[in-house]
Amino acid sequence: MNIVHVEDMFYPTAGYQLNIIPKYMARYGHKVTIIASKMEDIPVHLTTFFGRERIKAEDDEYTKQTGVTVIRLPLKGFISGRAVFGKELDEQIRAIAPDILYVHGNDSLTGIRYICKSKRLKMPIILDSHMLEMAARNPFSKAFHFFYRHFITPTIIKNKITILRTADDDYVERCLGIPLSQCPLMPFGSDIMLFHPDDNAKSNFRQKHGIEQDAFVVVYTGKLDEAKGGFLLAQAFEHKFASRKKIVLLVVGNIASGSYGGNVDELFVRSENRVIRFPTQKYIDLPVFYQASDLSVFPKQCSLSFFDAQACGLPVVFEDNFINQHRSLYGNAYCYKENDVSDFRKKILMCIETQSDQYQEMKRKAANFVNSNYNYDTISQKYMEILESEYRKAKVKKG
């Protein structure tokens, strides 16, 4: 099949769903293209984490490694964090003439645009939803939901457009009015070709960075801004833990700018535990940080890195919400009371002090949780089943 993915922003060195699923599709023998915006047209504050300086070289490297073509188009502008493409997008899609068009983000302006013209397209369209109600904190979210339910959802229902849910949540039906029967669950996962336990990598990393082999190493990967709980993480490691073990915190990610970042940095500097800092890493360079560690923590907004940490056999401590409650049902993780530094430390200490044989069992359950349910190879095959089904149905309609 000839498959085109459309996404507002694409970072070739990141570990998002868009970086991984197309790679597997290309590996299965399909022609795959990603169309995204030119990085220089994206507001600077949205590109600070991954950077924008070497995008052309990174795009080329991504294509070399995966076989996926990357095309970048200019933008008309940005509205409420959403990209506005011009006529170049339509022209590029027509030129490629894909068998199926996959637009990421059913609630983006681009997604809405192609939903509205879906009947006129010469190829079937499929979209996905990454949104949860707890993440929809825009003050205009209720007005947007009203607009979407009354003006966009009817077209989705009438034209039987499939919206893939990436989280086991009924947000699309409850807030947008799209029947769950049109929204199959296609979860996030981990690329287990990269992320898996590796004792040799663990030993070598610790030796290289002067970390005792019997130390208990905690890792955090991601942004250190307020939304991700950077200050909360620093508070949790400000004082020593009541343990005889040597505790080391690996922090992989750049400090946020401004006074918030300064406060986070100051707390790390005066921490009574050893804190080793690393800048933001490319996705392919992240596995060793998990492989060298014993526990992964997410102070707020548990990200997709959860699956990568678990794939490497790491138990996780994250905030208590309904998504994380579900993720921790398998003896693989602990939830702590949201914004409660004391309980965050308590759960970390619980992991530190767990008996070795019990902890090894927890690590085994973590890796098995991903391998059995969230392996991107298996998930990608399910994606292809849906895309191929949509393609076949479109051919039948055309007669």
Positive or negative, the CA dihedral 128, 132, 137, 140 is positive
Q: By CB neighbour count within 10 A (0-12 exposed, 13-18 middle, 19+ buried), where does 230 fall?
A: buried
pLDDT of residue 215: 97
Same-domain status, 227 and 333: yes
Angstrom distances, CA of residue 184 to CA of 22, 164, 309, 344, 366: 19, 5, 26, 34, 25
Q: Which residue has the tokens 């690393």?
A: 278
Contacts of 167 (CB under 8 A, 6+ apart): 130, 132, 185, 187, 188, 323
Same-domain status, 268 and 121: no
- Domain around 327: 199-373
Positive or negative, the CA dihedral 336, 341, 344, 346 is negative
Rg, Å, the chain Cα set = 22
- Strand, helix or coil at 371? helix
- Pick from 122, 116, 189: nearest CA to 155: 116
Contacts of 126 (CB under 8 A, 6+ apart): 100, 101, 102, 103, 161, 162, 163, 164, 386, 387, 390
**Are the C-beta atoms of residues 186 and 17 closer than 8 Å to each other?**
no
- Residue 46 forms part of a structural domain: yes
Provide DSSP, 168-225. S--HHHHTT---GGG--B----B-TTT-S--HHHHHHHHHHTT--TTSEEEEEES-BS
pLDDT of residue 64: 97
CA–CA dist 265, 270 (Å, integer): 9
- Residue 391 forms part of a structural domain: yes
pLDDT of residue 61: 96
Q: Which tokens sit at 40?
A: 């220089």
Same-domain status, 245 and 364: yes
Orientation of helix 17-27 relative to helix 376-398, angle to 10°: 70
CA–CA dist 216, 360 (Å, integer): 13
CA–CA dist 201, 290 (Å, integer): 10
- Strand, helix or coil at 377? helix
Same-domain status, 91 and 140: yes
Contacts of 219 (CB under 8 A, 6+ apart): 249, 250, 252, 289, 290, 292, 293, 295, 296, 297, 309, 314
Same-domain status, 141 and 171: yes
Q: Say how many domains are in the chain.
A: 2
Same-domain status, 307 and 367: yes
Same-domain status, 328 and 360: yes
Buried b / exposed e across 283-299, counting CB within 10 Å, b at 16+?
Answer: beebbbbbbbbbbbbbb
Q: Which tokens sit at 166?
A: 């990436």
- Residue 145 forms part of a structural domain: yes
Q: Which tokens sit at 249?
A: 């915190």
Same-domain status, 11 and 108: yes
Same-domain status, 179 and 44: yes
CATH number of 12's domain:
3.40.50.2000
CA–CA dist 151, 163 (Å, integer): 16
- Residue 43 forms part of a structural domain: yes
Same-domain status, 203 and 155: no
- Residue 14 forms part of a structural domain: yes
Angstrom distances, CA of residue 163 to CA of 157, 257, 277: 10, 36, 40
- Residue 194 forms part of a structural domain: no
Same-domain status, 168 and 231: no
pLDDT of residue 135: 52
Q: Along the chain (399 residues), what's the average pLDDT of each consecutive run of 10 residues? A: 96 92 96 96 81 89 97 92 93 98 96 96 95 64 93 97 92 96 94 94 98 98 93 97 97 89 95 96 95 97 89 97 91 96 98 95 95 93 96 82
- pTM (predicted TM-score): 0.86
3-state secondary structure 32-99: EEEEEECHHHCCHHHCCCCCCCCHHHHHHHHHHHHCCEEEEECEEEEECCEEEECHHHHHHHHHHCCC
**Are the C-beta atoms of residues 301 and 183 closer than 8 Å to each other?**
no
Same-domain status, 281 and 381: no
pLDDT of residue 297: 98
- Residue 278 forms part of a structural domain: yes
